[in-house]
Amino acid sequence: MQFDTVIHGGTLVTSSDVARGDIGIRDGRIVAVAENLSGGDARIDAGGRLVMPGGIEAHAHIAQESSSGVMGADDYLSGSVAAAFGGNSSFIPFAAQHRGQSVDDVIATYDARAARSVIDYSYHLIITDPSEAVLQDQLPRAFARGITSFKVFMTYDMMNIGDGGMLDILSVARDHGAITMVHAENNDMVKWMNGRLARAGLVAPKYHAISRPELAEEEAINRAISLAKLVDAPLFIVHVSTAGGAAIVQREILAGTRLFAETCPQYLAFTRDDLDRPGMEGAKFVCSPPLRDAATQAALWQHVKSGTFTSVSSDHAPYRYDETGKFIKGRDIPYPQISNGMPGIAARLPYLFSEGVVKGRISLQQFVSLSSTNAARTFGMTDKGSLAPGMDADIAIWDPEATRVMSLQDQHDNMDYTPFEGLELTGLPETVMTRGALITHKGRLIAKEGQGKFVPRAPMRLLGDGYLAKERDPAQNFGAQI
């Protein structure tokens, strides 16, 4: 057999297995997995290394305006380079609709932005204006292009579409085989808390954590699940930050609800005490939902271990610690005016490997599931997330024994800080390839700008009979076909 590249001598890790073997690659695909493959125009020695499916980052804000209109620091070049140095061979950032904007226009805008990417990409489509034209014509056109996931917000005044809007989106998504992602926080609870804190003059960064109560997340998760059940639509809860929220997800999955969820390294690594760092340093840790406490960290790790979460994503939302980002509205500002979000696209997988695999919390196979395979299956990247013959040669080679202290300079993003600065890591990605082409290798960027390709994604195949609320069942609702 002819190979363009052979990766030899490594330990192959998939979501199910760990075994010695070589990988043969031709025309961007894996064409052989076997012992002692000879040949190959190029040969990569993976002795002592782990050879895994490249990471798939399923939650990142790249070249995207925030909920208050602030452009993040990373474009598709810096964002994709940072992702690759962090072990990812593809990613699915968001393409965000502004109210009044057509979905066709949103996609055209992001196509132009994403043309710089060095790794493969798709978009989750954020819908903030579910008009009839959007629901009837524009979303079906987006599906036809292979954009098979939407995101909606239950918070932020500029994004929140209300329960009726969510039902409309969920229903269209269900009809086409798309999955709806949701940022679940009760907007009115947050606004009420903001008002109380402001009246008391409590506006330092640490009060951000108080302003967005755990109950606000738990209530919204429950409500989002009820809305999804009414239309029998699959739902993905993004950035779960509370033990209560994770327990709801776990309970519903056990009950058969078509539910998926993620948490993020920041909720495992930091607490609300980080928001109370000296001066305005706490601004670096302002994200929504907010950081919680040590008990929550322990509970979330338990849910990571036991399979509640589909994936661990970064929610990379890069706002620099300066007047272009965190302080775009001024230096000494009350917490609600600090730009929301933390960077972490390059830190996600080294963090999960070091704190998860090396510390014995998760297995290597779980690492692959949480970092790649589950995202590929859930979001319809059918050719990615595995090492089987026929799949894209999207591969990350890790040195499980390499050590490093996390620092800004090895993030390769456009940020001026990393919240993970100083964290001692064991296990690092050494080589990342996308469709057989080297993206990064031994600390060097090999890929050229624009090398990444848009990945049309498959619709979600719903298994089982589904759930019909009795009020929507013609046998039980006086025959109404609704």
- 145 vs 191 by CB, closer to ligand URP: 191
SS3 14: coil
Considering beta carbons, is residue 122 or 340 the nearer one to ligand URP?
340
Task: Tell me whether residue 235 or residue 287 sits nearer to ligand URP (CB atom).
Answer: 287
d(CA 443, CA 437): 16
Q: Give the nearest distance from C-beta 61 to Zn ion in angstroms.
A: 6
Least spacing, CB of residue 221 vs Zn ion, in Å = 13
Of 245 and 427, which CB lies nearer to Zn ion in the complex structure? 245
* Distance in angstroms (rounded) separating the CA atoms of residues 291 and 272: 5
Task: Looking at residues 296 to 355 of the shown chain, list those that interact with ligand URP (rule: CB under 6 A).
Answer: 315, 317, 340-341
Cβ closest to ligand URP, residue 339 vs residue 366 = 339
Residues in the interface with ligand URP (CB under 6 A) total 8
Shortest Cβ 288–ligand URP spacing (Å): 4
> Does residue 61 touch ligand URP according to CB under 6 A?
yes
What's the min distance (Å) between Cβ of 287 and ligand URP?
A: 4
212 sits near ligand URP (criterion: CB under 6 A): no
Closer to ligand URP by CB, 315 or 430: give it: 315
Helix (H, G, I), strand (E, B) or coil at 304: helix
Q: Taking CB within 5 to 8 Å according to partner kind, which of Zn ion, ligand URP, none is near residue 287? A: ligand URP
Residue with smaller CB distance to ligand URP, 217 or 383: 217
Q: Which residues contact 395 (CB under 8 A, 6 or more apart)?
A: 7, 23, 51, 52, 53, 54, 89, 387, 431, 432, 433
- Closest distance of CB 334 from ligand URP, Å: 16
Q: Mark residues 145-184: x for contact with ligand URP by CB under 6 A, - for none.
A: --------------------------------------x-
Partner from ligand URP, Zn ion, none contacting 50, C-beta within 5 to 8 A by type: none
What is the nearest approach in angstroms of ligand URP to the Cβ of residue 341? 3
| Smallest separation (angstroms) from ligand URP to the CB of 290 | 8
Shortest distance in whole angstroms from residue 245 CB to Zn ion: 13
Find which of ligand URP, Zn ion, none residue 340 binds, CB within 5 to 8 Å per kind: ligand URP
Q: Can you state the percent helix, strand and coil of the chain, rounding each to 5?
A: 35, 20, 45
Backbone angles phi, psi at 405, to 5 degrees: -95, 125
Cβ nearer to ligand URP, comparing 12 with 125:
125
Q: Which residues bind Zn ion (CB under 5 A)?
A: 183, 315
* DSSP H/E element including 89: strand 88-96
Which of 398, 438, 403, 410 lies closest to 346, judged by CA?
410
Task: Give the H/E segment covering residue 5.
Answer: strand 5-13
- Which CA distances in Å does 374 have to 91, 113, 251, 310, 379? 13, 27, 19, 6, 8
Cα 174–chain centre separation = 21
Task: Let me know: does 225 contact 235? Beta carbons within 8 Å.
Answer: yes
User: Tell me, what amino acid is at 256?
Assistant: G
What residue 88 binds from ligand URP, Zn ion, none (CB within 5 to 8 A, per partner kind)? none
Taking CB under 6 A as the criterion, the residue among 173, 287, 393, 439 binding ligand URP is 287
- CB nearer to Zn ion: pick between 96 and 438: 96
* 288 touching ligand URP, by CB under 6 A: yes
- Estimate to the nearest angstrom the gap between the alpha carbon of 224 and the chain centroid: 19
Distance from the Cα of residue 114 to its chain's centroid: 17
Phi, psi (degrees; rounded to nearest 5) at 78: -65, -35
Instruction: Report residue 257: phi and psi, to 5°.
Output: -65, 140
**Is the separation of the CB atoms in 339 and 71 below 8 Å?**
no
Give the nearer residue to ligand URP in terms of CB position, either 316 or 412: 316
- Euclidean distance between CA atoms 467 and 459, whole angstroms: 19
Closest residue to Zn ion, judged by C-beta, is 183
Q: Minimum CB separation from Zn ion for residue 464, in Å? A: 29
Distance CA 233, CA 239 (A): 19
By the 10 Å C-beta count (0-12 exposed, 13-18 middle, 19+ buried), 359 is classed as exposed
State the binding partner of 213 from ligand URP, Zn ion, none, CB within 5 to 8 A by kind. Answer: none
Choice between 24 and 72, CB closer to ligand URP:
72
CB of 190 to Zn ion, least distance (A): 13
CB of 153 vs ligand URP, minimal distance in Å: 7
Question: What one-character-per-residue DSSP string does 266-298 give?
Answer: HHHH--GGGGG-TTTGGGGG--SSPP--HHHHH
Interacting positions 68-127 with ligand URP (CB under 6 A):
none
* Residues at the interface with ligand URP (CB under 6 A): 61, 183, 287-288, 315, 317, 340-341
